[in-house]
Amino acid sequence: MHNNKHHNDNNYFLQRIQNNYSKTIDAILNHQYLSALEKKQISKEKLQILVYEQYHIIKNDRRNFALLISKASDDVAIELFTGCLSAEVKALDNLVHMAEELGINNISDNDNNKIELYEPLAGCHAYTNYLTKLAVYGSDAEILAAILVDFPVWGANCSKISSFLKKNYGFTNRSCMFLDQFATPLPEEFIEKSNNLIIRFNLAQKEKVIQRAVRLILDYELLFWDTIYKYSL
């Protein structure tokens, strides 16, 4: 019974944070970039920007989670961040198929290829750079709260993009594996264990710190979509 109360309290806590930032979440979920893909207003050449940006973001996030594993506060946090790291490694593999669909080859051969020479857009990288700041200076609870709120929003957009690419741009299931991976909901066990860790941290009256992390990660997520839309027209 006690565990259920913990779980419900914490679900309520995160639900309350989500409600506080529902305008930002709605702006991401109903972004013009998605409408533009639905109406096939973005060229295949400009679609490459999404692959380029994600390649550089994921390479950075891979290092973020590796750093988090190295300084995690307990075994549960290590397990959770190891799961996140595995997901980033898998995502980079899946991105290869999307890149090939768009004529970007040799994504895994480093140094002088097109993807390595691409100059990332600041607005697209605010998110991953903030995650680096949290990895260096933040708490496990802040990062896990940011993930629990932001990942489902990112995943919902990936799901929409996947369907638009298949419908309008002739993408296959294989070339959308990257998007479909993120569209899969977070595992229940990950959510449960993260929730418990967050509530332990929150009992120490750190709610404001967690709220700030969630607000900023969502703002930076929105900035990613604003930036990629601006450069894809």
Instruction: Supply the DSSP symbol for 104.
Output: -
Q: If we measure between CA atoms, which residue out of 67, 202, 204 comes closest to residue 136?
A: 67
The pTM (predicted TM-score) of the whole model is 0.92
60-84, pLDDT tens digit by residue? Answer: 999 999 999 999 989 999 999 999 9
Q: For residue 96, what are the CA distances in angstroms to 7, 28, 65, 109?
A: 38, 25, 21, 11
For residues 162 and 75, the answer to whether their CB atoms sit within 8 Å is: no
d(CA 145, CA 14): 8
By CB neighbour count within 10 A (0-12 exposed, 13-18 middle, 19+ buried), where does 10 fall? buried
79-133, pLDDT tens digit by residue? Answer: 999 999 999 999 999 999 999 999 987 766 565 578 888 999 999 999 999 999 9
Give me the architecture of the 2-232 domain, per CATH: Up-down Bundle (1.20)
The residues spanned by each domain of the chain are: 2-232
